[in-house]
Chain A
Amino acid sequence: MLAKDIQKQLASMHPESTLKITHLNQLARETTDANLLNLCSSYIDTILRNLPWQPPHSLTEREQAYLTFAEQFTMAVSAIEDQQVAALMKFSSADEIYCFVNALYVVDMTLRLNLVIGRVLI
């Protein structure tokens, strides 16, 4: 989700787009496995901040596959390998993966906006 101060700053200048980002973040969690997306989001946040990440619990094989994918998506999307997507297909349908990747885009870019707008505008 957009941080409150970022949301306020963005909304003061681009209200329509800000509302839509808020909606996207809600929808991303409604249309995918919200727990899995939040786990990936917390991991992405630490990657973007160059911080160490501590899993909140012992990870399942499914969670590990999605976190590996999310890490590559965050660091260099063009370097994702076939087997990283194939690993997701062990646990999810093509429809579920497609929706999850779109949701990952939403949380990844929202976290990036939080960081950069917070540093260059607030």
Chain B
Amino acid sequence: MNDKSPRLPRERLTEGVSIGGELELAIADFAAAVIRNGSDQAIIRELVRLRCAQIHDCRLCGSLRIKDALDQGFDEQLQRQIASYETSSLSPQAIAALRLCDAIIMAPSSADDALRDELRSHFTDHEITGLCLDVMKWSQQKALVALRMDAAPWGDTPTTLMFNNQGDPVFGKPVYT
């Protein structure tokens, strides 16, 4: 096994039992519902998605760029600010969303009144819960990372990600050609 090999050999996984099994399909169903019911703040959502990818170190998620966010102006200059967002030129709203993301995936017990007040100055309660659900959805990659099954077929090349009307992912072409 080299350091990039999946930790569970594919030939030992049974289609319909583990891969594509009942629980995995239900997780995908949840993820699609979050996409369908999410806000139209595509750039904020993309920043949060890529923060999840950074913290979990997911190769697949890190290689993707959501087309709606690109259409609204998301670019690599913004992407590069995520890792050091506290000292970035990102908007206060974006920074608040990233602090919520970090609280959930790194230190839930650190969430406090200051974060609560900050979030409420930028988002409605509906939007805050939507962001929380986004973080759960974009953390489904934790299972892939744990088993080292997170490699993207296209490598590190930034590739567009879209969603169909059901909220299911559709992988597109390289973002930059």
A-side interface residues toward B, CB under 8 Å? 9-10, 13-14, 16-17, 20-21, 23-24, 27-28, 31-32, 48-50, 69, 73, 77-78, 80, 82, 85-86, 93-99, 101-106, 108-113, 115-117, 119-121
Is the pair B145, A17 in contact by a Cβ cutoff of 8 Å? no
Is the pair A48, B108 in contact by a Cβ cutoff of 8 Å? yes
Q: Which residues in A have their C-beta under 8 angstroms from that of B80?
A: none
Q: In whole Å, how far is B114's beta carbon from the nearest beta carbon of chain A?
A: 10
Q: Which residues in B have their C-beta under 8 angstroms from that of A20?
A: 26, 29-30, 33
CA distance A115 to B108 in the complex (A): 6
Is the pair A120, B128 in contact by a Cβ cutoff of 8 Å? yes
Is the pair A113, B125 in contact by a Cβ cutoff of 8 Å? no
CA distance A121 to B28 in the complex (A): 26
Starting from the known contacts A105-B139, A105-B140, 20 additional A-B residue pairs (CB-CB under 8 Å) come to A17-B34, A17-B37, A20-B29, A27-B22, A32-B23, A77-B146, A80-B146, A95-B12, A95-B13, A95-B14, A98-B19, A99-B17, A102-B24, A104-B143, A109-B136, A115-B108, A116-B132, A119-B111, A119-B116, A121-B116
Size class of B's contact patch?
Answer: 35 or more
B-side interface residues toward A, CB under 8 Å? 1, 7-9, 12-14, 17-19, 21-24, 26-27, 29-30, 33-34, 36-37, 56-57, 100, 103-105, 108-109, 111-112, 115-116, 119, 125-126, 128-130, 132-133, 135-136, 139-140, 142-143, 145-147
